[in-house]
Amino acid sequence: MIDRRALLKAAAIVPAASAVSRIARADDKPAAADYTLRIATGLVELAPEHIVSTTLYNGQFPGPLLRFKEGQRVAVDIHNDTDTPELVHFHGQMIPSDVDGAAEEGSPFVPAHGMRRLEFVPKPAGFRFYHTHVVAGADLNRGTYTGQVGTVYIEPKNDPGAYDREVFLVLKEFAPSFSRGGDMAMDFLAGEELKDLKAIGKQADDEAKEKAKGYEVGYELFSINGRTLGSGEPVRVKQGERILFHVLNGSAGEIRSLALPGHSFRVVSLDGNPVPTPADVPVLWLGTAERISAIVDMNHPGVWVMGDLADDDRKRGMGIVVEYATAKGKPQWVKPKPFKWDYTRFGKAGATPAAPDESIEMTIVKHNAALDGFNQWTLNGEAFSMDAMKPVIKVQQGRRYRLKFRNASDDIHPLHLHRHSFELVRVGGKPTAGILKDVVMLGGFQGVEFDFVADNPGRTLFHCHQQLHMDFGFMALFDYA
């Protein structure tokens, strides 16, 4: 929890410090980095009886909150104390390919037992994050199955700030293992299923009839800010306070929900970008890597469980206690009424996005257990090859592209485009405009369309943000002509 006034005071000191570092650079001495991240194995005490060993940033989970100022150049030193090369991806920023942290785009690895300095100009303002971007494949000790996740906040040049305090929440599972079939929520997304997509999905299933369903990943332990429900410090609030929660789904592949009994969330930003129509909702739903910033008016005194709707996951830790100053007693959970998550409610009413210069359709198919027991994913019939690393789509600078995704599988895919924001155009059959994101959930047998403007030259990766899907084909590389 961060006191906003203290932060603003600290921010005021920054220009003086950076002036000093510029002088140091002129003397040919390496300037001190603004931040240092050290990747190493460490312990996370999720609860006194649940201590896990995993790879961490700076020995902590989540990694340190990195505060940047929009447009002000930063240097981040990455030290890799592990035995394998690593990559730190700055998710949601419009930065060059070599510092974005994706091997497919040409970013160099941080060598094992080596270091690399990344320098870039952070943008755009808002709630971003950073995480490892290496392939995990069948190794659940690699990639986003580890604890390599941290938050980034890029201070805008002007902040209207209709809130008293900010609280960052990172939702994350630990102790992963392989399973057959999952129990992930599937029915919470608004929108309609398409018959032709179901037919394509059925055909793929029939072709793989003799095979069992592919591996899925399940988890034993669940946490918010690295603590299981009830093990960490509660969020202590006062009646009448307005708290801006910055929620990150830092999972390797799970979809998460969050509710606070007796309260509603006024969603003001999605993936760090202010929405055209802030709206009150009883439940937040976040696909892997999605962020939601929402204001809660603290007007219902008590001791509450702010937690995931999935009972099993909440009981195994996915929640945090919210405690009013005057209240006492055991934390209370009340299951919210059924609620459909519909991105379009935050869109600009009556508006239409600009017309695209070009449209590209992509149909996604799941091939059950096609790769040594793992499902393989194809986009327009092709699985991404890590050996060829071939760009499939050439874009031209300045042009606006409309990507039309068709999901012929029953899974929900959090689609992510690197180094660009996109504008949602159509979600589950419903048109919308004005919502800028970098991850969007594509529902089972549904369609989603978004536009992006090719305004950041360099190789650009598109993929499903589920580690298990991206590692087994669900990626495509774009390049500028």
Q: Is 460 buried (19+), middle (13-18) or exposed (0-12) by CB count in 10 A?
A: buried
Q: Which stretch binds Cu ion (CB under 5 A): 75-83, 310-318, 390-398, 464-472?
A: 464-472
| Sheet strand arrangement including 126-132 | 63-69, 149-155, 126-132, 88-91
DSSP 20-59: HHHHHHHTTSPPPPSEEEEEEEEEEEEETTEEEEEEEETT
Whose Cβ is closer to Cu ion: residue 78's or residue 412's?
412
Residue 365 interacting with Cu ion (CB under 5 A): no
- Kindly state whether residue 413 participates in binding Cu ion, applying the rule CB under 5 A: yes
Q: Select from 113-121, 293-301, 455-463, 468-476 the region that touches Cu ion (CB under 5 A).
A: 468-476
In the complex, minimum distance from the CB of residue 142 to Cu ion, in angstroms, rounded to a whole number: 18
Cα gap 408→332, rounded to integer Å: 40
Q: What are phi and psi of 23, to 5 degrees?
A: -65, -45
Of residues 39 and 255, the one with the C-beta less far from Cu ion? 255
DSSP 332: B
Smallest gap from residue 411 Cβ to Cu ion (A) = 6
Nearer to Cu ion, 172 or 413 (CB): 413
Which of 176, 307 has the CB closer to Cu ion? 176
End-to-end CA distance of the chain: 45
Among 102, 237, 252, 464, binds Cu ion (CB under 5 A): 464
Among 142, 416, 420, 469, binds Cu ion (CB under 5 A): 469
CB of 204 to Cu ion, least distance (A): 15
CB nearer Cu ion, residue 118 or residue 364 = 364
Pick out residues in 30-49 that bind Cu ion (CB under 5 A). Answer: none
Q: How far apart are CA 250 and CA 173, in angstroms?
A: 8
Closest residue by beta carbon to Cu ion? 464
Q: Which is closer to Cu ion, CB of 345 or CB of 465?
A: 465
Closest separation in Å from C-beta 181 to Cu ion: 16
In which residue are the tokens 């210069």 written? 357
Of 33-41, 139-147, 286-294, 406-414, which segment contacts Cu ion by CB under 5 A? Answer: 406-414
Residue 225 or 466 having the CB closest to Cu ion: 466
Stretch that binds Cu ion, among 233-241, 323-331, 378-386, 405-413 (CB under 5 A): 405-413
User: Is the alpha carbon torsion for 60, 265, 220, 142 positive or negative?
Assistant: negative
For 339-351, b/e burial (b = at least 16 CB within 10 A) is eebbbbbbbbeee
CB nearer Cu ion, residue 316 or residue 413 = 413
**Left, alpha or beta for 409 (phi > 0: left; psi -120 to 50: alpha)?**
beta
Can residue 378 be called a binding residue for Cu ion (CB under 5 A)?
A: no
Name the maximum alpha-carbon separation found in the chain. 68
* Rounded-to-integer distance, Cα 477 and Cα 435, Å: 24
Considering only residues 376, 466, 472, 478, which one is a binding residue for Cu ion as defined by CB under 5 A?
466
Interface residues with Cu ion (CB under 5 A)? 413, 464, 466, 469
